[in-house]
Copies of this chain bind each other. A is one copy, B any other.
Amino acid sequence: MRDVAALAGVSLRTVSRVINDDPTVADTLREQVRGAVDQLHYRPNLTATHFRRRDGRSFTVGLLLHDVANPFLATVHRAVQDVARAHGCDVLAASGTDDPLREREVVERLIARRVEGLIIMPAGDDHSYLQAEQMSGTAIVFLDRPPAFLAADSVLADNRKGAAKGVRHLLSGGHRRIAYLGYRQSTWTNQQRYQGYCAALRGRGVALDPALVRQDLCTAELAEEATTELLTRPDPPDALFAAQAAITIGAIRALRSVKQSESTALVGFDDFNTADLLEPGITVVAHDPVAVGSLATEILFRRIEGDRSPITEHVLKGRLIQRGSGEISPAFELSR
């Protein structure tokens, strides 16, 4: 910038004004400065700008997701980008892989970069470490799971109700032996979904059979194995509820391998690409990733822009999409 000022024969201040489109600059000077900028290939240094600005704006928001490669989260990410862009901000995204230590490490780093706001899909159970940061003015919104030991906005899926809706759909179809295929038992979302499963059964007076519950199916492979084992038992379930898209896919593979995809009902939590193209189509309780990402980011920018209204917890409703797999009737069994 100094070089530009020297070449244009003006002061730093004038160059700064031209760069920032300050109207109080004479047209001739503006042209001179623009010329010098082009000639020297000058690029303003956003880092220095942020550094000096009184308002501390860094034009950056941080986004911590379990995995940017997860199709659902990738779409959330895109929605966050689009809203952030509309507010003149870029997104620094990181993948946290479900590890509380890593969550903290990544978040500390984003804070060190002085992001204006932080959207966090948390892994840990204690977010009090963010208190100081929140106090000092960084906006924070939680995604997918609510914060613990911290007051902050959150955007959640209706895990409990959504799961219950899916399980009730199977119950209404006449199923009584409905298996629950869950993921990491320690996660809040899985706990919620499991509660929804239990509540739905209870609501219809169906006893919970622990033999039909499988937890900690963290990969599609584990889900496939567990489901195969479940389906080849002497007293198999007549329907499956999969608590997550990856588990749903594992369950489909298992159903195919034991040739029961046409006879055992399946409802999955979360939609996935091509679920409608499978045979049978996969019935799911779907949440809209664009809505999740957009809403979280809009709340974030409202806070950044000074909104001091009470903390909110937004719960997005899941929609049951019937495609066939959830509408399979239980087989008639003589023993009943």
Among B69, B91, B272, point to the contact of A274 (Cβ < 8 A). B272
A-B contact pairs, 20 of them (CB 8 A): A43-B108, A43-B111, A44-B112, A45-B114, A47-B50, A47-B113, A67-B78, A68-B68, A68-B78, A68-B81, A71-B74, A74-B77, A78-B95, A81-B93, A81-B94, A82-B95, A90-B94, A272-B274, A274-B278, A279-B279
Top 5 A-B pairs, shortest CB-CB distance: A74-B74, A69-B78, A41-B132, A46-B112, A69-B75
CA distance A272 to B110 in the complex (A): 33
A90 in contact with B92 given A68-B78, A249-B274 (CB within 8 Å) = yes
User: Does A277 make an interface contact (CB < 8 A)?
Assistant: yes
Separation in Å of the A237 CB from the closest CB of chain B?
21
Separation in Å of the A149 CB from the closest CB of chain B?
16
Contact, CB under 8 Å: A112 / B45? yes
CA distance A70 to B69 in the complex (A): 9
Contact, CB under 8 Å: B74 / A68? yes
Contacts of A283 in B (CB 8 A): none
CA distance A301 to B174 in the complex (A): 59
User: Does A99 make an interface contact (CB < 8 A)?
Assistant: no
For the complex formed by this chain, how many copies does it contain in all? 2
Contacts of A110 in B (CB 8 A): 90
User: Does A125 make an interface contact (CB < 8 A)?
Assistant: no
User: Does A8 make an interface contact (CB < 8 A)?
Assistant: no
User: Does A273 make an interface contact (CB < 8 A)?
Assistant: yes
CA distance A93 to B77 in the complex (A): 10
Contacts of A108 in B (CB 8 A): 43
Contact, CB under 8 Å: A91 / B92? yes
Chain A 109-153: CB-based contact to B (< 8 A → 1; otherwise 0): 111111000000000000000001100000000000000000000
Separation in Å of the A118 CB from the closest CB of chain B?
13
Contact, CB under 8 Å: B58 / A47? yes
Separation in Å of the A223 CB from the closest CB of chain B?
14
Separation in Å of the A276 CB from the closest CB of chain B?
9
Contacts of A91 in B (CB 8 A): 92-94
Separation in Å of the A264 CB from the closest CB of chain B?
16
Return the chain B residue nearest A108 by Cβ.
Answer: B43
User: Does A253 make an interface contact (CB < 8 A)?
Assistant: yes
Return the chain B residue nearest A111 by Cβ.
Answer: B43
Docked complex: A285-314 residues within 8 A CB-CB of B: none
Separation in Å of the A268 CB from the closest CB of chain B?
12
Contact, CB under 8 Å: B69 / A77? yes
Chain A 252-291: CB-based contact to B (< 8 A → 1; otherwise 0): 1100100000000000000011110111000000000000
CA distance A272 to B45 in the complex (A): 40
